[in-house]
Amino acid sequence: MLNSKPIDKIFSQHARSIAEEGIMIGLILLSLIGIAIMQFSPSDGYIYWILMIFVFGMAAMAISFLQAKQGVHVVKNIWVEQSIHWFGAILATGGTLVLLYLKVLDDNSAGLVLLLILSLATYIDGLRIGWRFGLVGNFLGLTAIAIPFFEYFMWTLFVMAALTIALTLYLEKRTASKP
């Protein structure tokens, strides 16, 4: 049977912050991998972004679980709420695939639209579970906008990723040092 102790009694605040930070950095790195895949094979890129919707959804559920204050018994409610949210992203993804199938979108455009859907779903979920997730959503959205503007966009994205990670580490250190 699940332990009914509150999460903050199971994991310290510091451990939860480190876990959230690690998840955020992991999602940014997975995003960079997806962008590289999309650059070399757009059709593989949109398949990757579809898979990432599930990965990001599970990451959001993990963060929500870590933040649960009432105890482990609220996990069901968290999973239902998160599942409904990410199901909306899956529906939008299905609509994008229909547009791709009907040749309204080409492979490159479909990949960018899927990246924007993931960006929006991540950003909106960040409003619920925390600023780090929202920051990842912003990073994804800026990435989708930057790709068409820069011929050699990967370097730009590496800089954006490094700045995003550095900003979160700085903000985490600053908020941790406050009494």
Asked, for residue 178, whether it belongs to a domain, the answer is no
- Are 150 and 125 in contact by the 8 Å Cβ rule? The answer is no
d(CA 62, CA 78): 10
Q: What is the pLDDT of residue 117?
A: 95
Count of the separate structural domains present in the chain: 1
Instruction: Give the structural domain span for 152.
Output: 10-172
pLDDT at site 140: 92
| pLDDT confidence of residue 4 | 52
Report, as ranges of residue numbers, the positions in the chain whose pLDDT lies below 70.
1-11, 69-73, 176-179
Please tell me the predicted confidence (pLDDT) of residue 178: 66
Q: pLDDT at position 1, please? A: 42
Query: Is 5 domain-assigned?
Result: no
Residue 66 lies in a domain: yes
Does the residue 157 lie in any domain?
Answer: yes
